Amino acid sequence: MAAKRGPTPRPGILDIAPYVPGTSALPGAGKVVKLSSNETPLGPSPKAVEAYLAEAAHLSRYPDGSAAPLREALADRYGLDVARIVCGAGSDELLNLLAAAYLGPGDEAIYSEHGFLVYKIAILAHGATPVVAPETDLTADVDAILARVSDATRMVFLANPNNPTGTYLPFDEIKRLHAGLPDDVILVLDAAYAEYVRANDYEAGIELVATTQNTVMTRTFSKIYGLAALRLGWAYCPAPIADALNRIRGPFNVTGPSIAAGIAALNDQPHMQEAVAHNTAWLGTMAEALTGIGLAVTPSAANFLLVHFPQSKSAQEADKFLHERRIILRRVGEYGFPDALRMTIGTEKENQAALEALTAFMGAGQ
């Protein structure tokens, strides 16, 4: 009889480095300024909170299994085909469902050098091989991605704008990327930060999904809509891809309170616009101010800034210095940036607190 050794995960599972979320709490009492997870400083729409609370009266009932009321609200808002929208528990779930449906051992999937880490995990979790394309100026490089397409490539994941760099590709470049991919390779456009982008040459992906057979766009309610705790995302897909995802997703993968809150959030566009205006104003102000104290800031189209520290002042020391002042930014070493921290745009007070602390840090010992 074989020696007893208990259950073993599939090959490769234990080689996956788990996703480590940004720090969200510090030891000791007192409020923290948390600018580590790209959450909105304005919070959700009060109407979304109200809709969420009203659902408390129906907790014994299963939700609509296809999140139909939310899909209809999304279809109305964006002019989409409701049958091609799939909702999920955060866009993370949809990224994983795409990998589950289309990737397996022997397949390759490409993402860019500083791309969102969930892609690598989703690819490895399904036994496929991650292929990393180098970036140019901390921005995805279409030629580098296309150069890595092989007969085994099944998927390209691209966050646009990307986390943690904040850089984006204009629609012309996205179209060029799509045009260079074989028809059986899915281009996943992860547009988690789309609402924040103020650039005329940007398109989140709806047009390509509508006009091609192999583009999927993923979106989230976690960022500008302020519903991160509910775990709510959606994908707009070609019909056969929506069909595949619907076959393998959990039959009730989105909760009733999430559906209700999502609809109310979507219908409160003034609240969303306020979040955009706040972000646009502060993104520029903070980038300028941080540059002014000797930090290098990657130009961002999203709601966060990648802040690079000089050799004399390490990001690790800065992180410690900030924690002592109860301010949390995001360490980004695992994204290939040991010398940087990512700062989410917060409230006016939070931004000023972070700027003051960073100014003190940069000035200390000089």
User: Which window, 61-69, 84-92, 140-148, 265-273, contacts ligand PLP (CB under 6 A)?
Assistant: 84-92
User: Which window, 51-59, 66-74, 85-93, 321-329, contacts ligand PLP (CB under 6 A)?
Assistant: 85-93
Least distance CB 243 / ligand PLP (angstroms): 22
CB 37 within 8 Å of CB 24: yes
Strand 296-298 relative to strand 304-308, pairing: antiparallel
Of the candidates 39, 92, 141, 350, which one interacts with ligand PLP according to CB under 6 A?
92
Of the candidates 52, 102, 116, 234, which one interacts with ligand PLP according to CB under 6 A?
116
Q: Say whether residue 319 binds ligand PLP (CB under 6 A).
A: no
Of the candidates 220, 253, 298, 344, which one interacts with ligand PLP according to CB under 6 A?
220
E-strand ranges in the chain read 33-34, 85-88, 108-112, 129-133, 153-159, 186-190, 215-220, 233-236, 296-298, 304-308, 327-328, 330-332, 337-344
Helices 269-292, 256-267: axis angle to 10 degrees equals 80
Q: Say whether residue 38 binds ligand PLP (CB under 6 A).
A: yes
| Positive or negative torsion for Cα 299, 302, 305, 308 | negative
User: Which window, 88-96, 145-153, 337-345, 357-365, contacts ligand PLP (CB under 6 A)?
Assistant: 88-96
CB 142 within 8 Å of CB 173: yes
Nearer to ligand PLP, 185 or 254 (CB): 254
Residue ranges of alpha helices (H) inside the chain are 46-54, 68-78, 90-102, 118-125, 142-147, 171-180, 206-211, 239-248, 256-267, 269-292, 315-324, 348-363
> What's the CA gap between 70 and 195, in Å, rounded?
18
Nearer to ligand PLP, 282 or 335 (CB): 335
> What's the CA gap between 133 and 149, in Å, rounded?
10
Q: Say whether residue 23 binds ligand PLP (CB under 6 A).
A: no
Number of C-alpha atoms within 13 angstroms, CB side, residue 13?
6
Q: Say whether residue 163 binds ligand PLP (CB under 6 A).
A: yes
Least distance CB 123 / ligand PLP (angstroms): 14
Phi, psi (rounded to 5 degrees) for 263: -65, -45
Q: Say whether residue 192 binds ligand PLP (CB under 6 A).
A: yes
> What's the CA gap between 310 and 34, in Å, rounded?
23
Residue pointed to by tokens 């609370």: 53
Structural tokens at position 295: 């930090």
Nearer to ligand PLP, 149 or 228 (CB): 228
User: Which window, 86-94, 150-158, 201-209, 347-355, contacts ligand PLP (CB under 6 A)?
Assistant: 86-94
Least distance CB 262 / ligand PLP (angstroms): 11
Nearer to ligand PLP, 171 or 361 (CB): 171
Q: Say whether residue 228 binds ligand PLP (CB under 6 A).
A: yes
> What's the CA gap between 179 and 163, in Å, rounded?
24
Least distance CB 240 / ligand PLP (angstroms): 23
Local structure of 176: helix, strand or coil: helix
**Close Cβ partners of 298 (under 8 Å, ≥ 6 residues apart):** 138, 165, 166, 167, 305, 306, 308
User: Which window, 89-97, 144-152, 200-208, 353-361, contacts ligand PLP (CB under 6 A)?
Assistant: 89-97
Structural tokens at position 210: 């509508």
Number of chain positions touching ligand PLP (CB under 6 A): 13
Least distance CB 217 / ligand PLP (angstroms): 12
**Length of the chain, in residues:** 366
Of the candidates 40, 45, 66, 91, which one interacts with ligand PLP according to CB under 6 A?
91
Of the candidates 190, 268, 319, 350, which one interacts with ligand PLP according to CB under 6 A?
190
Least distance CB 294 / ligand PLP (angstroms): 28
Nearer to ligand PLP, 70 or 192 (CB): 192
Q: Which residues bind ligand PLP (CB under 6 A)?
A: 38, 90-92, 116, 159, 163, 190, 192, 220, 222, 228, 233
